[in-house]
């Protein structure tokens, strides 16, 4: 493959102007930043807005009842985040395949990959439904306060339609951002947030529907985005990549399931890690305050993590596109620019958490104990925010390259073999209590960061180019459009894929 690319470059040597542009580091970095932000900015707006609806809902519920707040925190932080992590992970296989197909100009394959992801995600979510129906029983068996467990079980039923909306919004977002058309996602997500805030106020405060009103607002606003994206794709927004429903989506679904499962495990282990703090907090003294305070900190941490997930998506797209094109050097340069960008954002938010740590709690609760506990945890929150800006980038790189299974193993060891046991020891053996748990788990994040840094440094990206080429060749399906298929096959051959 590399010899063919070299021959092609010899036949079409770069101009002096282009060569000088490539050799100018600042210009190259600026060009790469434009490519990154073209994907990342809409993705960040989308994820921050979507998660923001959950944070806004928590704020409304926090002013209704402390028990409802604890129940909402328990199911949203544990149950919904667990399911959401699986769906994001399963959907990230769409990022890998669509990104590499777009880079290789196999545009019609992207629609087939999208349909396969719908099948996989819908089946997966349906299998997970018992978690919502049995939520109060599960939490009581885990030793949580019965009143909080019952409140969590009631809220869990309201989250079922919300999770089904994620199947479509997540997969279509990844499908669109792979071809750099996700500006529509940003618009719809912003619309979702704009609708959600006044609708929550109307249903909760004006009509006095309480908890029910808050959950109705969540579901209505989430389906606004999902339906809007479906209409955009079906009505001509992606003429090259969406050719309508195709029975080819049922072909080679087992390999897609395998890649989706490894992706799901990888992302879920990351997203669910800190959520375990809420579960453990339920065994502490004054569990109601501990759960509420932890959920506030974790939602702030998760909101910032949504920014990192936007950059994670950009990392996936940039790596996948360049692997599809067969350019290993461009992959390595993109990783450097991505990491620099994310670190700059992380350091900024880290400083803000330190400055305003003693005021954050008032946004979510009037309970002085909850506010004080949030203030006590603000330093650990700021450190978590800082490390959030590093390891998700490498996770995105792994998704773009199809290395999800390896990163899933790293996540399992660092988070659940190192971090969680250390946190339990520090929390229950020492006098640190909940702080000890967070310190231990932060140690797992630090270990994860160092391991992924070393792994990416040692990766041979020329070999990853060959692997991506082989994957695209193996799953290629002819386009119903003969002319399109001939053009794609010509590009495949010239790129060394066939």
Q: What is the pLDDT of residues 293-307, one digit of tens each?
A: 776 777 777 777 777
The label of the residue with tokens 């912003």 reads 190
Instruction: Output the CA angle 66-161-148, nearest 5 degrees.
Output: 20
DSSP one-letter code for 14: P
Q: Is 12 a residue whose pLDDT tops 60? A: no
Q: Is 284 left (phi over 0), alpha (psi -120 to 50) or beta?
A: beta
Q: Which of 94-98, 102-106, 236-240, 428-432 has the highest mean pLDDT?
A: 236-240
What pLDDT was estimated at residue 475?
Answer: 53
Choose among 82, 83, 84, 75: nearest CA to 57: 75
Q: What is the distance between the alpha carbons of residues 103 and 23, in angstroms, rounded to a whole number?
A: 23
Q: What is the model's pLDDT at position 464? A: 78
pLDDT of residue 220: 94
End-to-end CA, the chain? 9
Average pLDDT over the chain, rounded to an integer: 78
Question: Helix or strand or coil: residue 492?
Answer: helix
pLDDT at 196 over 90: yes
Mean pLDDT computed over 190-205:
91
Residues 125-165 have pLDDT tens digits of 999 999 899 989 988 887 778 888 888 899 999 999 999 99
Distance, in Å, from the CA atom of 159 to the CA atom of 7, rounded to the nearest integer, reads: 56
Residue 497: the pLDDT is 41
Pick the more confident residue, 60 or 357: 60
The region of weakest confidence among 31-40, 244-253, 263-272, 417-426 is 263-272
- State the pLDDT confidence band at 372, using cuts at 50, 70 and 90: confident
Of 174-178, 252-256, 308-312, 343-347, the one with minimum mean pLDDT is: 252-256
Q: Is the confidence at residue 203, as pLDDT, over 90?
A: yes
How many residues does the structure list for the chain?
A: 498
φ, ψ for residue 139 (rounded to 5)? -70, -35
Question: How crowded is residue 359: how many other Cβ atoms within 10 Å of its Cβ?
Answer: 12
Give the burial string for 402-412 (b: 16+ CB within 10 Å, else e).
bbbebbbebbe
Backbone angles phi, psi at 285, to 5 degrees: -65, 145
**pTM, whole model, 2 decimals?**
0.69
pLDDT tens digits, 455-482: 888 888 888 777 777 766 665 555 555 4
The pLDDT-based confidence of 364 (bands split at 50, 70, 90) is low
The predicted structure's pLDDT at residue 271: 65
For 159, the token pair is 């989250």
Asked if 284 and 433 count as a contact pair (C-beta separation under 8 A), the reply is yes
Q: In this predicted structure, what is the pLDDT of residue 472?
A: 62
> Taking a C-beta distance cutoff of 8 angstroms, is the pair 222, 50 a contact?
yes
Q: Average pLDDT for residues 429-442, to the nearest whole number? A: 79
Pick the range with the lowest mean pLDDT from 94-98, 275-279, 416-420: 275-279
Q: Give the model's confidence band at 230: pLDDT under 50 very low, under 70 low, under 90 confident, else very high.
A: very high
DSSP secondary structure letters along 64-101: T-HHHHHHHHHIIIIIIHHHHHHHHHHHHHHHHHHHHH
What is the pLDDT averaged over residues 404-427? Answer: 83
High-pLDDT (> 90) share of the chain, %:
11
Q: Give residue limits of the domains in the chain.
A: 34-477
Q: Output the pLDDT for position 195.
A: 92
Where residue 492 falls among pLDDT bands split at 50, 70, 90? Answer: very low
Question: Where does the pLDDT of residue 484 fall: very low under 50, low under 70, confident under 90, or very high at 90 and above?
Answer: very low
Q: What's the CA gap between 233 and 385, in Å, rounded?
A: 35
Rounded Cα distance, 317 and 400, in Å: 6
Q: Which residue has the higher pLDDT, 430 or 159?
A: 159
Given this model, what pLDDT does residue 366 score? Answer: 67
480, 464 in Cβ contact below 8 A?
no
């Amino acid at each position: 493959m590399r010899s063919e690319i070299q021959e092609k470059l010899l036949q079409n040597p770069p101009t002096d102007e282009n060569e000088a542009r490539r050799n100018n580091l600042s210009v190259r970095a600026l060009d790469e930043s434009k490519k990154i932000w073209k994907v990342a900015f809409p993705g960040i707006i989308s994820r921050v807005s979507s998660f923001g609806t959950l944070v806004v809902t928590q704020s409304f519920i926090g002013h209704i009842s402390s028990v409802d707040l604890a129940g909402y925190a328990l199911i949203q932080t544990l149950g919904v985040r667990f399911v959401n992590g699986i769906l994001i992970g399963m959907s990230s296989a769409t990022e890998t395949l669509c990104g590499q197909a777009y880079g290789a100009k196999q545009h019609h394959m992207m629609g087939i990959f999208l349909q396969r992801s719908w099948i996989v995600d819908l089946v997966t979510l349906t299998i997970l439904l018992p978690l919502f129906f049995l939520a109060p029983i599960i939490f009581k068996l885990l030793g949580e306060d019965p009143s909080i467990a019952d409140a969590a079980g009631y809220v869990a039923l309201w989250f079922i339609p919300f999770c089904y909306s994620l199947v479509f919004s997540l997969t279509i977002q990844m499908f669109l951002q792979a071809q750099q058309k996700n500006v529509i996602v940003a618009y719809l997500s912003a619309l979702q947030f704009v609708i959600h805030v006044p609708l929550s106020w109307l249903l909760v405060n004006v009509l006095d529907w309480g908890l029910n009103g808050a959950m109705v607002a969540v579901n209505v606003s989430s389906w606004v985005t999902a339906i809007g994206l479906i209409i955009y794709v079906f009505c001509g927004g992606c003429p090259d990549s969406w050719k309508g429903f195709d029975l080819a989506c049922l072909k080679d679904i087992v390999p897609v399931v395998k890649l989706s499962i490894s992706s799901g495990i990888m992302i879920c282990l990351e997203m669910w890690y800190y959520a375990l703090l809420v579960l453990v907090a339920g065994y502490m003294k004054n569990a109601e305050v501990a759960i509420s305070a932890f959920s506030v900190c974790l939602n702030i941490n998760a909101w910032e993590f949504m920014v990192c997930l936007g950059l994670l998506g950009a990392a996936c797209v940039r790596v996948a596109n360049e692997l599809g094109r067969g350019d290993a050097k461009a992959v390595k340069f993109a990783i450097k620019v991505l990491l620099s960008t994310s670190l700059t954002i992380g350091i900024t938010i880290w400083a803000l958490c330190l400055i305003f740590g003693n005021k954050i709690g008032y946004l979510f609760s009037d309970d002085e104990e909850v506010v004080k506990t949030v203030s006590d945890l603000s330093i650990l929150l700021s450190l978590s925010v800082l490390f959030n800006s590093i390891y998700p980038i490498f996770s995105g790189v792994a998704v773009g390259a199809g290395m999800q299974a390896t990163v899933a193993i790293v996540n399992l060891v660092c988070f659940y073999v190192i971090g969680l046991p250390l946190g339990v020891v520090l929390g229950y053996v020492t006098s640190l209590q909940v702080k000890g748990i967070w310190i231990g788990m932060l140690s797992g994040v630090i270990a994860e960061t160092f391991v992924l840094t070393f792994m990416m440094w040692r990766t041979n990206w020329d070999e990853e180019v060959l692997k991506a080429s082989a994957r695209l060749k193996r799953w290629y399906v002819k386009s119903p459009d003969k002319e399109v298929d001939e053009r794609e096959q010509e590009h495949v051959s010239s790129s060394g894929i066939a």
